[in-house]
């Protein structure tokens, strides 16, 4: 079954001005968790805007260790090497070699959590940033209804430098949370 990975701030905002919620070097633990979970799952599904607008190349670290990257788009080709294309989220799930990780953006989360979606998400890996960050109000991660979801893990990540990593830091406190479908 698919899983979702997402980072949101206190009001559940996920992106600002069409781009990332926080700067590239601001949340090292969240980045590391993204890399670890995506590598473990092996297949990552992402919306075209999140891939292209942020100019993420497959050579860059977030996707470096992921076996299969599937981009959802209406287009037939994209100028990014090493990706597969799907014309719907359901098609992307069907093309997945293993249970896929859906990595945003807002349109992917909304479709994946829609009650009509044929491949229900069973896990949400959320980084809950404990700060009010500027964000686009239409880009918010939906509340997970308590009757459908249970929190199974919650770990506090304080502000500060990462131990043993001289240049890696977290500038906002956060919680790494896992929600499972009941
Ligand atoms: N905080 C987080 O964890 C996180 C993670 C990822 C992204 N984000 C943020 O999310 C924002 C982007 O979200 P978004 O909703 O604007 O864009 P998106 O979901 O990344 O991509 C939207 C694009 O996906 C394609 N698409 C969507 N549904 C489709 C369907 N049913 N069939 C075919 N193609 C489909 C379309 O591509 P075409 O236009 O090419 O047809 C559409 O323009 C950014 O601010 C980004 O930083 C946040």
DSSP secondary structure of 49-108: HHHHTTT--TTSGGGTT-SEEEEE-SSS--S-TT-EEESSHHHHHHH-SSSEEE---HHH
SS3 of the chain: helix, strand, coil, percent, to 5: 20, 35, 45
Q: H or E element: which one contains 18?
A: none
Query: For residue 49, is pLDDT > 60?
Result: yes
Give the chain's radius of gyration (CA, Å): 16
Give how many domains the chain has, as a whole number: 1
Q: Report the pLDDT averaged over residues 48-66.
A: 66
Round the average pLDDT of the chain to a whole number and report it: 91
Query: For residue 65, is pLDDT > 90?
Result: no
* pLDDT computed for residue 163 by the predictor: 79
Q: Tell me the pTM.
A: 0.95
* pLDDT computed for residue 57 by the predictor: 47
- What's the CA-to-centroid distance between 163 and ligand 1, angstroms? 34
In this structure, the residue with its CA closest to atom 10 of ligand 1 is 105
Tell me the pLDDT tens digit for each residue of 141-154.
Answer: 999 999 999 999 99
Whichever domain contains 125, its CATH number is 3.40.430.10
Q: How far apart are CA 44 and CA 59, in angstroms?
A: 15
Ligand 1 pocket test, candidate residues 48, 53, 76, 94, most atoms within 8 A of CB: 48
> What is the span of the domain harbouring residue 129?
3-181
Higher pLDDT, 61 or 114: 114
């Amino acid at each position: 079954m698919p899983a979702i990975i997402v980072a949101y701030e206190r009001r559940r905002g996920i992106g600002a001005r069409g781009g990332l919620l926080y700067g590239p070097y601001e949340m090292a633990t969240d980045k590391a968790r993204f890399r670890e979970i995506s590598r473990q799952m092996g297949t990552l599904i992402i919306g075209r805007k999140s891939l292209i607008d942020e100019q993420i190349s497959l050579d860059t670290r977030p996707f470096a260790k992921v076996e299969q990257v599937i981009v959802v788009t209406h287009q037939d080709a994209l100028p990014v090497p090493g990706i597969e294309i799907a014309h719907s989220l359901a098609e992307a799930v069907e093309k997945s070699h293993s249970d896929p990780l859906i990595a945003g953006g807002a349109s992917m989360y909304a479709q994946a959590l829609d009650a009509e979606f044929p491949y229900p998400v069973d896990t949400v890996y959320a980084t809950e940033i404990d700060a009010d960050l500027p964000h686009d109000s239409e880009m918010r991660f939906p509340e997970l209804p308590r009757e459908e979801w249970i929190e199974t893990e919650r770990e506090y990540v304080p502000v500060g430098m990462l131990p043993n990593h001289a240049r890696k830091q977290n500038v906002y406190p956060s919680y790494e949370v896992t929600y499972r479908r009941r």
